[in-house]
């Protein structure tokens, strides 16, 4: 078998080069858009289509480390694909199909602009025929149409991504599930899901479990995640359930009407609210308070380098007994969630609170945040009502949310 990579401006030219060099029986292994002559970090290079094709009619060259071997027709694969290889099928399909779809869209636009009698119509129809041949070839290759076992693992990966599991975590889960299932069970998607639940339960169970909530809790998190409303719910629950004295301190003096909002909550709930303009005010306020204390902070941009320093000063003023509660919205994108956790976990966060579960139908962030932070979820919020829309979730409850919605 001879394998060769071609560069062309579009799929039509690439197919012509493949046919000329390797013959009509050549098959397309992969295709992707790349930059050439990139200049500064490749940012200003020209984009070309890179197509890798193989011909079984040509003499087989000497073995090379990077050579690709296709499954021969009629032969049964001797062993199942490795876990990483199975998951990477997802990317292989997308890389192979994207240029083809781009070409189809371009042809469709051209055909909509010309008359059916235009001589160019014949050329465009020939292009369509070539693309149909390419699609048929891609489907017939082992990289795009994996065997039954690989297909089940792919469906498992798609399932995880659809449930909002971050891609690196989904890849790890699929690899671990496939590695622990015997060969005969790899084609059974439901069996894979059972093993998946066990792996996820183990991951969630490793989150550090602290003792009872600290008397003083400092709430931190990005802007707009609902810290103020969440604190009002927790304070109301603490006052109702335990009967102990509850206090609220707000340091959020930058957001418009934030103090007025918290003060209004305090009046409705009959809970005293004090305002602290900075670490010194916070320290003085805590000196004369007994019972539970909930400290609200200004929502911060996690990319602002001053955020961590200011919050660390407030934490120091709150004392060594204070614990940090990180509030994150369940609607946060996985990539942003990773960055938020990377920054706030430098504060020794003890527990997580996920808000706005009522604003999404995908709950993968519950799993993502626990696994990435190694911290448990103290509670979740499911609406604006105070204190009703506040719930606790144990590991089975989190799994039900993530896997079944």
Instruction: Please write the tens of the pLDDT for every residue from 41-77.
Output: 343 456 677 777 777 654 444 443 343 333 344 444 4
2 membership: H or E segment, kind and range: strand 2-8
Query: Are residues 51 and 130 in contact, defined by beta-carbon separation less than 8 angstroms?
Result: no
Q: Return d(Cα 348, Cα 52) in angstroms, integer.
A: 50
* Residue 329 phi, psi dihedral angles, 5° rounding: -80, 140
Q: What is the pLDDT of residue 127?
A: 62
- What is the distance, to the nearest Å, from the Cα of residue 33 to the centroid of all Cα atoms in its chain? 24
C-alpha span between 374 and 352 (Å, rounded): 10
Q: d(Cα 278, Cα 340) in Å, to the nearest integer? A: 23
- Residue-wise pLDDT for 384-403, tens only, equals 998 899 999 999 999 999 99
Q: Which of 142, 145, 147, 157 is nearest to 192 (CA)?
A: 157
Q: Three-state SS for 270?
A: coil
Distance of CA 105 to the CA centre of its chain: 29
Structure tokens belonging to residue 105: 């869209």
Q: pLDDT in tens for each of the 405 residues of the chain?
A: 577 888 888 777 888 888 888 887 777 766 777 666 544 334 345 667 777 777 765 444 444 334 333 334 444 444 455 555 544 555 555 555 555 566 666 666 666 667 666 766 666 666 666 565 555 554 444 444 444 556 778 888 889 999 999 999 999 999 899 888 776 667 777 888 889 999 999 999 988 877 788 999 999 999 999 999 999 999 999 998 887 899 999 998 777 778 888 999 999 989 999 999 999 999 999 999 999 999 999 888 888 888 889 999 999 999 988 999 999 999 998 889 999 999 999 988 999 999 999 999 999 999 999 999 999 999 999 999 988 999 999 999 999 999 987
Residue 52's φ and ψ, nearest 5 degrees, are -105, 125
Among 186, 102, 125, 169, smallest CA distance to 365 is for 169
Where does residue 191 rank: exposed (0-12), middle (13-18), buried (19+ CB within 10 A)?
middle
Q: What's the predicted TM-score (pTM) here? A: 0.64
User: CA 142, CA 81: separation in Å to the nearest integer?
Assistant: 11
Helices first, then strands: H and E counts in the chain: 13, 11
C-beta of residue 365 within 8 angstroms of C-beta of residue 373: no
Record the tokens describing residue 95, joined without a space: 């890389």
Give the residue from 398, 397, 401, 392 showing the smallest Cα distance to 233. Answer: 392
DSSP letters along 211-238, please? -SPPSEEEEE--TTS-HHHHHHHHHHHH
Per DSSP (E only), the strands in 165-251 are 216-220, 246-250
Report the residue count for the chain: 405
The pLDDT value given to residue 84: 52
The token duo for 382 is 């499911």
- Rounded Cα gap, residues 83 and 69, in angstroms: 18
CB-CB contact of 28 with 141 (8 Å): yes
Rounded-to-integer distance, Cα 301 and Cα 314, Å: 16
Please give the distance of CA 247 from its chain centroid, rounded to a whole number: 37
């Amino acid at each position: 078998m001879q394998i060769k990579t071609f560069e062309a401006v579009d799929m039509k030219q690439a197919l012509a080069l493949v046919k000329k060099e390797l013959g009509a029986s050549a098959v397309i292994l992969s295709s992707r858009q790349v930059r050439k002559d990139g200049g500064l970090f490749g940012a200003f290079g020209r984009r070309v289509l890179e197509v890798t094709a193989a011909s079984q009619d040509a003499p087989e060259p000497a073995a090379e480390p990077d050579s690709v071997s296709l499954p021969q027709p009629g032969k049964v694969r001797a062993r199942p694909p490795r876990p990483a290889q199975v998951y990477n099928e997802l990317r292989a399909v997308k890389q192979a199909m994207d240029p083809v779809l781009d070409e189809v869209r371009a042809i469709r636009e051209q055909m909509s602009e010309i008359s059916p009698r235009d001589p160019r119509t014949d050329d465009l129809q020939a292009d369509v025929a070539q693309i149909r041949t390419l699609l048929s070839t891609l489907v017939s290759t082992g990289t795009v149409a994996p065997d039954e076992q690989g297909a089940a693992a792919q469906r498992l990966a798609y399932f995880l991504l659809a449930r909002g599991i971050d891609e690196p975590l989904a890849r790890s889960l699929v690899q671990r599930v496939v590695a622990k299932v015997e060969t005969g069970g790899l084609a059974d998607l439901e069996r894979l899901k059972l093993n998946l639940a066990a792996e996820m339960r183990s991951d969630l169970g490793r989150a550090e479990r602290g003792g009872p909530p600290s008397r003083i809790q400092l709430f931190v998190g990005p802007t707009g995640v609902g810290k103020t409303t969440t604190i009002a719910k927790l304070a109301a629950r603490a006052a109702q359930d335990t009967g102990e004295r509850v206090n609220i301190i707000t340091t959020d003096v930058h957001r418009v009407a934030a103090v007025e909002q918290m003060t209004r909550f305090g009046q409705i709930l009959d809970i005293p609210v004090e305002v602290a303009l900075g670490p010194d005010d916070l320290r003085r306020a805590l000196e004369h308070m007994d019972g539970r204390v909930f400290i609200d902070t200004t929502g911060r941009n996690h990319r602002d380098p001053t955020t961590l320093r200011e919050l660390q000063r407030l934490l120091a003023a709150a004392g060594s007994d204070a614990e940090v509660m990180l509030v994150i919205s369940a609607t946060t994108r996985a990539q942003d969630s990773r960055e938020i956790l990377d920054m706030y976990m430098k504060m020794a966060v003890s527990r997580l609170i996920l808000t706005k579960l009522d604003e999404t139908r995908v709950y993968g962030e519950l799993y993502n945040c626990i696994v990435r932070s190694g911290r448990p979820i103290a509670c979740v919020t499911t609406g604006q009502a105070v204190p009703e829309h506040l719930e606790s979730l144990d590991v089975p409850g989190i799994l039900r949310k993530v896997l079944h919605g």
